[in-house]
Amino acid sequence: MSIVVVGSVAFDDVTSPSGSVKNILGGAATYFALAASYFTQVRVVAVVGDDFGPEQERVFREHRIDTRGIERAQGKTFRWGGTYSDNLNEAKTNFTDLNVFQTFQPRIPTEYEDTEFLFLANIQPTLQADVRRKMNGVRLTGCDTMNYWIKGTPTELAATLKLVDVLLINDTETKMLAHESNLPRAAQKVLAMGPKALVIKHGEYGATIFFREGAFGIGHHPFRAPALPIEEVKDPTGAGDSFAGGFMGYLAAQQEINREVLKRALFYGGVMGSFAVERFGTERLQGLTRDEIEARFQVFRELTHLE
């Protein structure tokens, strides 16, 4: 089965304790698409500028990612620059140049209309809602957002959350969205806003999935998946998007979606996020094999005694 991701394709400048790189391929949709491509057919809806050339196109093509939904516009591609200090959980943003992304209006190619899975990466909530309504035949919709939209567009975000099945955000965003400092209570408040499941990413400490009562089968207990200890984190940029790609990509490859499948998807999300941080940009995701992914998944299973 296939999955459509709607989000950003970008060029990044990244500095971390491991070094510094400029003009590397990034963006939420890029990380997501590469991670998900190891599990299922991926289709991308995004916008790029004149500076997006054959070298960047090749990255998508080599992973058989469908780029018919990537619009070419006059101007420069979205650019972001950030610096990580010893605290690798947070980047200091040096610049954000939206460029052609500033006027991005997602257009869904007719060839994408039969897609069963949809992921709304971190873009303006109204655009997310528009895409979801246009693709009203999808089987499952995942969604990401960030503090900028939670603070700045709460009404629009609330409307979007009513349309999605699984929301993937971090601890801080969950508490901010719910106006609640206790995480389990915050999770329940977010689920009451619409999603059937909430995946809370804890960075280097793994992820937890909370279920709305009665959604995806019987039971109401949350499930926690750990993170793998990584010896050297070179670049945390895109780790969350890679997690989402592994999580949603695995789901899109399954015949049935239930709580056990969603729990297992958490581990594949963790696997893809752990690979992403080992190199700058998308380099590690570009060169993976499915055998490497399964070997790391086995390590997760042994850590947690997952059946």
Sign of the alpha-carbon torsion through 292, 144, 18, 63: positive
- In this prediction, residue 219 carries a pLDDT of 65
Predicted local distance difference test score (pLDDT) of residue 57: 96
CA trace torsion 240, 183, 222, 242 (10° rounding) = 0
Query: Which pLDDT does position 88 carry in this prediction?
Result: 83
d(CA 193, CA 157): 10
Predicted model pTM: 0.96
Pairing of strands 223-225, 207-211: antiparallel
> What does DSSP say about strands 91-97 and 78-84: parallel, antiparallel, or unpaired?
antiparallel
What are the residue ranges in the chain where pLDDT is below 70? 218-220, 305-307
Amino acid identity, residue 3?
I
pLDDT at 220: 66
Which CATH number applies to 2-304: 3.40.630.30, 3.40.1190.20, 3.10.20.30, 2.102.10.10?
Answer: 3.40.1190.20
Which residue blocks in the chain are alpha helix, DSSP H? Answer: 28-36, 54-62, 125-134, 147-152, 154-161, 171-178, 183-191, 239-252, 259-276, 283-286, 290-304
Rg (CA), the chain: 18
Under 8 Å CB-to-CB from 42, ≥6 apart: which residues? 2, 3, 4, 5, 32, 33, 36, 63, 65, 66, 249
Note the pLDDT of residue 231: 81
What pLDDT does 213 receive? 86
What pLDDT, on a 0 to 100 scale, did the predictor assign at position 307?
Answer: 57
* Domain chopping of the chain, boundaries: 2-304
Three-state SS at 19: strand
Give, in order, the Cα–Cα distances in Å from 155 to each of 189, 212, 248: 16, 22, 26
pLDDT of residue 179: 97
